[in-house]
């Protein structure tokens, strides 16, 4: 049981390049999330998908786009990378029923992204 | 002001000591997470609780909903407990889809 799988684990980009971070979960969770983690700050929500077919902005969505490809997969795209997007990115998933849940959130191992 | 405040920010202990990390929050919540992150590592959920107390091995988490406060205790601490411990809350009322995180407490346990 892999849980939440993120790829790649590390990436270095040049300013202006684009890339997509991939995330897949095998726990049949309906909600999925993308966070970024920066030194001295708590994790911040970039985008989330409460269920297949829906996506919504989080706290820091500027410069990012997402796609909920199917129930398992939720990708994060940087169209034109900027140094301010250097961060560690975490994907997470959770099961929600009618907007409530007693289940914890499961996190991937993170993608360490550096933009030069 | 951050909606979730943790204290202390940094904590150094000797192996075997009893550890307490505190979390205070200012919003109404439906549940609270305690998470663990080892240096350079992923994030693991330790507890999710909405009332009372939970225990898993040497870890104990408590929550007081009226006082908007939670504590994470580690008994007989060990160097492998060295990690960042993060408190996060699910907001009640509005959307249940979002977690708000504290900035974390860096715990170092020396042998």
**pLDDT tens digits, A5-62:** 999 999 999 999 999 999 999 999 999 999 999 988 889 999 999 888 899 998 899 9
Confidence band for A103, pLDDT divided at 50, 70 and 90: confident
Q: Do residues A42 and B4 lie in contact, with contact meaning Cβ atoms separated by under 8 Å?
A: yes
Q: What 8-state DSSP symbol labels residue B80?
A: G
**pLDDT tens digits, B16-44:** 999 999 999 998 888 899 999 998 888 99
> Most A CBs within 10 Å: which of B42, B50, B92, B93, as the mutation test of the A interface?
B42
Alpha-carbon dihedral of residues B42, A99, B60, A3, nearest 10 degrees?
A: -30
**Average pLDDT score over residue span A87-111:** 86
Nearest to B98 by CA among A61, A2, A71: A61
Shortest distance, CA A19 to any CA of chain B (angstroms): 21
Indicate the burial class of B10 (C-beta count within 10 angstroms; 0-12, 13-18, 19 or more).
Answer: exposed
Q: Provide the CA B96 distance to its chain's centre, in angstroms.
A: 20
Indicate yes or no: CB of A42 within 8 angstroms of CB of B43: no
Q: Do residues A44 and A58 lie in contact, with contact meaning Cβ atoms separated by under 8 Å?
A: yes
**pLDDT tens digits, B68-79:** 999 999 999 999
Per-residue pLDDT at B95 exceeds 90: no
Indicate yes or no: CB of B4 within 8 angstroms of CB of A41: no
Confidence band for A3, pLDDT divided at 50, 70 and 90: very high
């Amino acid at each position: 049981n892999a849980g939440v799988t993120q790829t790649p684990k590390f990436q270095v980009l040049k300013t202006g390049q684009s890339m997509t971070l991939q995330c897949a979960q095998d726990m049949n969770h309906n909600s999925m999330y993308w966070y970024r983690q920066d030194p001295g700050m708590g994790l911040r929500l970039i985008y989330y998908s409460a269920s297949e077919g829906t996506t919504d902005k989080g706290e820091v969505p500027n410069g990012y786009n997402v796609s909920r490809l199917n129930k398992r997969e939720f990708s994060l795209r940087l169209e034109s990378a900027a140094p301010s997007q250097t961060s560690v990115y975490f994907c997470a998933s959770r099961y929600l029923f009618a907007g409530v849940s007693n289940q914890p959130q499961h996190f991937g191992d993170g993608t360490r992204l550096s933009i030069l | 002001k951050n909606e979730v405040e943790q204290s202390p920010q940094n904590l150094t202990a000797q192996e075997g000591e009893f550890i307490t990390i505190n979390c205070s929050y200012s919003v109404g919540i439906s549940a609270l997470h305690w998470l663990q992150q080892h240096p350079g590592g992923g994030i693991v959920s330790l507890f999710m609780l909405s009332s009372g107390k939970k225990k898993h091995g040497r870890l104990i988490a408590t929550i007081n909903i009226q006082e908007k406060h939670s504590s994470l205790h580690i008994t007989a601490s060990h160097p492998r407990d060295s990690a960042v411990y993060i408190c996060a809350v699910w907001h009640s009322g509005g959307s249940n889809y979002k977690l708000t995180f504290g900035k974390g407490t860096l715990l170092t346990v020396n042998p």
